[in-house]
Structure 1
Amino acid sequence: MIIPADFPAWAALLTAVLMLTGAGLTLIGAVGLLRLRNFYARVHAPTLGTTLGVGCVLLASILYFSVLQSRPVVHEVLIAIFVTITTPVSLMLLVSAAMRRDWSEGDPSVPAPRE
């Protein structure tokens, strides 16, 4: 990232903190994907890491380009809306498909479907 000479220090610092926080949250989600034992626990960690991590990165992007262009830049809000909606929906669809598969295979570790 190239920072112009007239870019305020407070904005550069806040942008850097938000970027590092977003990267850290995404990393925690990726580590959770590797460390957790079963599928149902594994899908939860990356979903949270993705949603929160991308949110911090998008906030950093909004701040950086708004200060750089001296006007509000909110194109990233659309990205945030789409990520916030699609990530949990994909989690629910994956878990639903896995539960149906486990029910059809007779896996005793998965609770029986409600009638």
Structure 2
Amino acid sequence: MYGYTHATQPTYCDASDNATVDYPADKMSQSASDRCKKLPVNLPELQELTFGPFYSGSPYLGNAGALPPGEGGFNANSGYFFMWHSHSERELVNFNIFPGGMLTFLIVEPPGTPIP
């Protein structure tokens, strides 16, 4: 997986940052030489960001970064959130109850996260 190292994801990379998980050889996934490489990411300064309740503070799935106090409380497992919605007001309510209708959230959780 891109960006994973032994320090951040020992499940995927050994101490020498070599992949420890076999990936399918279907030519649909990334090249084997790209696994466990560090991914350079330059994030802006904290003063330049607005934090939403679902932001984990990290660009990596399953890794939490440093956040100001009181931020990121709805993303305990550092997953990725996706939202589909309609901008038509009458489609966002069910029997005058908001939110409802055409408003859907999907969360991609890191591997090994227990789903109740």
TM-score tier after normalising by the smaller chain length? under 0.3
* TM superposition score normalised by structure 2: 0.24
Q: Which has the larger radius of gyration?
A: 1
Name the one with the larger helix percent: 1
